[in-house]
Amino acid sequence: MSKRKSPPIMENPHVKELLSVIEKYHTDAMKDLLDVIGYVGEVEKQLDNAVQELAAMRKELVDMRGQPAPVQKTMRDATILMQDRVITLRENLATLKAAIVEGCKNLLSAFREKGTQALHNTARFFKLRPALETLRDNLNESVKSDERMIAKIEAVSTEYHKAGQHIKNMGRALTGREAVADAKATGKVAKTFAAPFHAERSCLLSAKKSVENAIGRLARLEKAAERKPSIKQTIKEFNYQIANAPKSAPNRAAQNAER
């Protein structure tokens, strides 16, 4: 967790420059690309929230010194696992962001050279599917891991609660009193220490949904790249190239006609 966090994807200068191009030439394909980048921005925020939940869990470890040893051990192991998962997810995200920035650079370069024609096949500039699918799979496994740890904490807490209740009733029996069920709610410890896992699970589920949405938009972008541009779009591109063509000297035929 000591690695320096990179700036948000939406603040990258190459991304910002491409967004200005998208705003000016807002084709359907460019809208899909904008959505992909936007969903990745959402994942950044959701993983930041997961980091905050990890900090909350560390605080819980400090505050639980009076709790049963099995619960403390479970929480320590869980914190280490959560930290490792968050590090992996942030590395996945960094790889994805780097691929987006590289795609923006390449698309902007092609746009400067070929004009709006380069905006047709934007998918070929963005090799994002492997990074998105890796991030999605790791998020899915992290959610499952949280669910396993929540179940483990609840099991340890329940076992300790039952053992304590049994000892208490043994004392009542020795003094001639009738054994009674504990009126306290079972799992109070579990609810307290499982809370960060529930919160992290919520963050990761949201991040997973954003990644899946990004994959869906990318699929549309890839499909759009297979279609040929319309005549209207071709004319628009031709006009763009004429408007942005460098000024040249009058051609020789025109000069001869004036003589």
Per-residue model confidence as pLDDT tens digits over 157-179 = 665 555 545 445 444 444 555 55
The reply to whether 202 falls in a domain is yes
Cα 32 to Cα 224: distance, rounded to the nearest angstrom: 10
The reply to whether 176 falls in a domain is no
Predicted local confidence at residue 135, as pLDDT = 97
The reply to whether 232 falls in a domain is yes
The reply to whether 188 falls in a domain is no
Predicted local confidence at residue 119, as pLDDT = 79
Domain count, the chain: 1
Pull the structure tokens for residue 193. Answer: 């220490």
Which residue in the block uniquely carries the two structure tokens 């938009």?
217
Predicted local confidence at residue 105, as pLDDT = 95
Q: Which domain holds residue 87?
A: 9-147+198-244
pTM of the model: 0.72
* CB within 8 Å of 114: residues ≥ 6 apart: none
Cα 92 to Cα 138: distance, rounded to the nearest angstrom: 9
Using an 8 Å Cβ cutoff, are 108 and 17 in contact? yes
The reply to whether 102 falls in a domain is yes
Pull the structure tokens for residue 176. Answer: 């001639």
The reply to whether 66 falls in a domain is yes
The reply to whether 171 falls in a domain is no
C-alpha pair distances (Å), 190 with each of 34, 168, 183, 201: 43, 20, 17, 16
Using an 8 Å Cβ cutoff, are 43 and 207 in contact? yes
Q: Kindly state the helix (H) or strand (E) to which residue 229 belongs, with its residue range.
A: none
> Tens digit of pLDDT for each residue in 183-200?
444 456 667 777 888 888
